[in-house]
Amino acid sequence: MSTYMHIIFENQKIHVVLPIQQANALAWSFITCLSHQITDQAEQVLGVGQKAATDLVLHFRDQIQKHGEVTLDLQSFQVLQKLVHQVHQRKIERDEIAPPVLESLAGFDASSEVLFSVDLVRESLDEVQKPTFDVLKRAFPDGLTPEQEIHLVALLDEDDFSQRSIGSYLSALRGQFTFGNYIQATHDAVGIIIDHAWTQEDVERMRDRVNRVGYS
């Protein structure tokens, strides 16, 4: 599963590359937003009619489902940007939408940028968490086995990381980045801590592995 988002401006077209589940969640929020507006309001706010906006949203979703990306003209992309603003104002974005997705779509300016790329996993973390995540990612570039998850949670708990922070790292190392993923990973981390199914030797082996890539 891809965890990257790319926005590319080329030949007066905007190419958006986005994980499928993000496109689905966006489309749901956009359609919900449009259903709350009468036709005249949609045209006034978006610059196009309600049906045209709905067709655009469905095209956006369907193309990403089929190809992992969609190509839009500038006007169509600007309609999507206006929808992002409406979704944010009305507070109807789904929890499954990673905040960097909305921020990237809303903030991209074709007049000043040609390429924007963001790692949705890393950007889902707080700034203070990113250096530790980078170290852990170097230690486990291909992710964690279930046993390694237990030993890493034990290490982070021993080093006085909060359960919320441990959940954030666990979710990110699983390649997940939505609020629901974070809640599940935090629940898993708490369960691991309560079960205490590890030895001190397990923790020290984990410490040695992460220290070799800059944890200490």
Sort 174 into a burial class: Cβ within 10 Å, 0-12 / 13-18 / 19+.
middle
Q: Which pLDDT band, with edges at 50, 70 and 90, does 117 fall under?
A: very high
Element (H, E) at 8: strand 4-10
* Alpha carbon 113 to chain centroid, angstroms: 21
Sort 66 into a burial class: Cβ within 10 Å, 0-12 / 13-18 / 19+.
exposed
Q: What is the pLDDT of residues 11-52, one digit of tens each?
A: 999 999 999 989 999 999 999 988 877 666 777 888 888 889
Q: What is the pLDDT of residues 68-115, one digit of tens each?
A: 999 999 999 999 999 999 888 888 888 888 888 999 999 999 988 899
Share of the chain above pLDDT 90, in %: 77
Instruction: Round the average pLDDT of the chain to a whole number and report it.
Output: 92
Domains of the chain, first to last: 4-122 (no CATH), 127-211 (1.10.150)
Round to whole Å and give the CA distance between 48 and 27. 17
| Structure confidence at residue 136 (pLDDT) | 97
- Average pLDDT of the segment spanning 208-216: 95
Contact 167, 153 (CB under 8 A): no
